[in-house]
Copies of this chain bind each other. A is one copy, B any other.
């Protein structure tokens, strides 16, 4: 497994500034969700029913962009966690939720949507856990 999130957070001079597990999990799930949503949007585009997948493509692209910003903000620990972390996590949770709900509608006929919905749900849970603690 390539991610070294926990390993490198542990070496930060100021430490994780709160619970290590929920921080690491949130960063990992945002990375996974950014990639899954980028892949799902691209797979949707190649499907025969692309016309029905427009909303899914768009929501997945939004979600990928917000997940990317979120893991970057969550990763920075100099001077403590970001003062904007909670609001960024709330935005991320919301984009994941919309992306997941649309993917769930297409999960029965598109396997990439089924996988993407699972990854989005994990990311929502990880964002919520970090919000609860922040």
Instruction: Pull 17 A–B residue pairs with CB atoms less than 8 Å apart, ordered by A.
Output: A3-B35, A4-B35, A4-B118, A27-B35, A31-B35, A38-B75, A42-B75, A42-B77, A46-B54, A54-B79, A55-B79, A61-B72, A61-B76, A65-B72, A73-B95, A87-B90, A87-B91
How would you classify the secondary structure of chain A's contact residues: helix, strand, loop or mixed? helix
Contact (Cβ within 8 A) B2 A38 = no
When all copies of this chain in the complex are counted, the total is: 4
Q: How large is the interface on A (under 10, 10 to 19, 20 to 34, 35 or more residues)?
A: 35 or more
Contact (Cβ within 8 A) A3 B32 = yes
Residues of B contacting A39 in the complex (Cβ-Cβ under 8 angstroms): 5, 8-9, 12, 75
Contact (Cβ within 8 A) A72 B38 = yes
Interface residues of A in 102-116 (CB under 8 A from B): 110-112, 115-116
Contact (Cβ within 8 A) A79 B50 = no
Smallest CB gap from A25: residue in B: B2
How far is A84 from B36 in the complex, measured between Cα atoms in Å? 19
Identify 17 new A-B residue pairs, CB closer than 8 A, beyond the known A3-B35, A68-B68: A1-B3, A3-B3, A31-B31, A38-B72, A50-B50, A51-B51, A55-B79, A59-B82, A59-B83, A62-B76, A64-B72, A65-B69, A66-B84, A69-B69, A84-B91, A87-B94, A90-B91
